[in-house]
């Protein structure tokens, strides 16, 4: 995948995405039984911070937030297993367990014994909660951005429908519509660069097969029960058109503390309002 990624990278339109790609490392994780290396963007200095992207996305989701944090934190931004530009062997299993096993291996490779903060966006928030329960001794604080998957229950997609779903998500018009739906003001904030990044990883070998397998697994729905013991903070946008009202109500009932809401913000606070998210990271992760 490393070779294919370089070809994909050469056509990037967004300069912040190009800058983040310049910080990409390829980590060998042989314990997963996969020969190809895994992408992890590593940049900055300071306390370690792990940033987890959402469903059917990539590390490039953090292109606007990373430069605001890198002077205060050392950032580790992996592609979740089966997503982004990670390798996708046909023989691998895709789902919750595989994502968590890969992340545990990533955590083991973060140098030092410092406690690690985690930022998770959308489905990445559910992944953050799960890994925090598994790695309570290593992860100390969570910041969840427009979290999806904490409530409800896993609903595996039946065979045939899983492939149909992947095909549907590959349609250019669907990708464009979903990209626009994620922003608070798509007419102003969505252009060719944003649409390109939303679909760039579809060029990776095995994308549709891995996505269908993940859908069959049931994904991360219901990951919030029980909440992990670590301090947990939640931000979401008042203009979020991805999280429905019922989902927000269920999530508010689950959480112990009120959610902080951002105006003029959609489902991607780290893209719509990166400066606000950066300031919240200072409050949440840096000692007073």
The mean per-residue pLDDT over the stretch 167-196 comes to: 96
Residue 279 clears pLDDT 80, i.e. is over it: yes
pLDDT higher than threshold 80 for residue 37: yes
H/E segment holding residue 49? strand 48-52
- Given a cut of 80, whether residue 288 has pLDDT beyond it is no
Largest CA-CA distance found in the chain, in angstroms, rounded = 53
Rg (CA), the chain: 17
Query: Is it the case that residue 246 has pLDDT exceeding 80?
Result: yes
Please tell me the predicted confidence (pLDDT) of residue 113: 86
3-class secondary structure, 28: coil
User: Within a 10 A sphere around the Cβ of 240, how many other Cβ atoms?
Assistant: 25
Say what percent of the chain tops pLDDT 70. Answer: 100
What pLDDT digit, counting tens, does each position of 39-84 carry? 999 999 999 999 999 999 999 999 999 999 999 999 999 999 999 9
Domains and CATH numbers, the chain: 2-285 (3.40.50.1820)
Instruction: Identify the residue with better confidence: 4 or 252.
Output: 252
Average pLDDT over residues 223-240: 94
pTM over 0.85: yes
Q: What's 187-209 look like in SS3?
A: HHHCCHHHHHHHHHHHHCCCHHH
Sheet bearing 116-121, strands edge to edge: 24-27, 38-44, 74-78, 48-52, 116-121, 139-145, 232-237, 260-262
Q: Tokens at residue 158, please?
A: 């039946």
Chain segment 115-142, per-residue pLDDT in tens: 999 999 999 999 999 999 999 999 999 9
Determine the Cα–Cα distance for residues 82 and 158; give it in Å rounded to an integer: 19
Range 96-102 contact pairs with CB under 8 angstroms and sequence separation of 24 or more: 96/130, 96/217, 96/218, 96/219, 96/220, 99/127, 99/220, 100/127, 100/130, 100/131, 100/134, 101/32, 102/29, 102/32, 102/38, 102/78
Per-residue confidence at 2, pLDDT binned at 50, 70, 90? confident
Q: In this structure, what are the phi and psi dihedrals at residue 70, rounded to the nearest 5 degrees?
A: -70, -15
Task: Provide the pLDDT for residue 118.
Answer: 98
DSSP 162-189: HHHHHHHHHSHHHHHHHHHHHSSSHHHH
């Amino acid at each position: 995948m490393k070779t294919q990624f370089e070809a994909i990278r050469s056509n990037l339109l967004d300069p912040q995405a190009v800058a983040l790609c310049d910080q990409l490392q390829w980590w060998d994780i042989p314990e997963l039984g996969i020969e190809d290396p895994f992408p992890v963007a590593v940049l900055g200095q300071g306390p370690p911070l792990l940033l987890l992207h959402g469903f059917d996305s990539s590390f490039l989701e953090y292109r606007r937030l990373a430069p605001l944090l890198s002077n205060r934190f050392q950032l580790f931004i992996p592609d979740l297993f089966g997503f982004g530009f990670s390798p996708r062997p046909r023989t691998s299993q895709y789902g919750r367990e595989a994502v968590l096993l890969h992340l545990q291996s990533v955590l083991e490779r973060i140098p030092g014994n410092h406690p690690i903060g985690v930022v998770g966006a959308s489905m990445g928030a559910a992944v953050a909660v799960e890994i925090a329960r598994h790695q309570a001794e290593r992860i100390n604080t969570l910041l969840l951005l427009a979290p999806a998957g904490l409530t409800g229950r896993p609903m595996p997609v039946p065979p045939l429908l899983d492939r149909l779903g992947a095909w549907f998500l590959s349609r250019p018009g669907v990708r464009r519509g979903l990209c626009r739906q994620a922003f608070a003001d798509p007419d102003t904030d969505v252009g060719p660069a944003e649409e390109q990044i939303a679909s760039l990883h579809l060029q990776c070998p095995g994308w549709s097969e891995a996505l269908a397998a993940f859908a069959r697994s049931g994904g991360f729905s219901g990951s919030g029960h029980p909440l992990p013991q670590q301090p947990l903070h939640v931000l979401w946008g008042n203009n979020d058109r991805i999280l429905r009202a019922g989902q927000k109500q269920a999530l508010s009932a689950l959480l112990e503390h009120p959610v902080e809401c951002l105006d003029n913000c959609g489902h991607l606070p780290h893209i719509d309002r990166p400066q606000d998210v950066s300031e919240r990271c200072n409050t949440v992760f840096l000692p007073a």
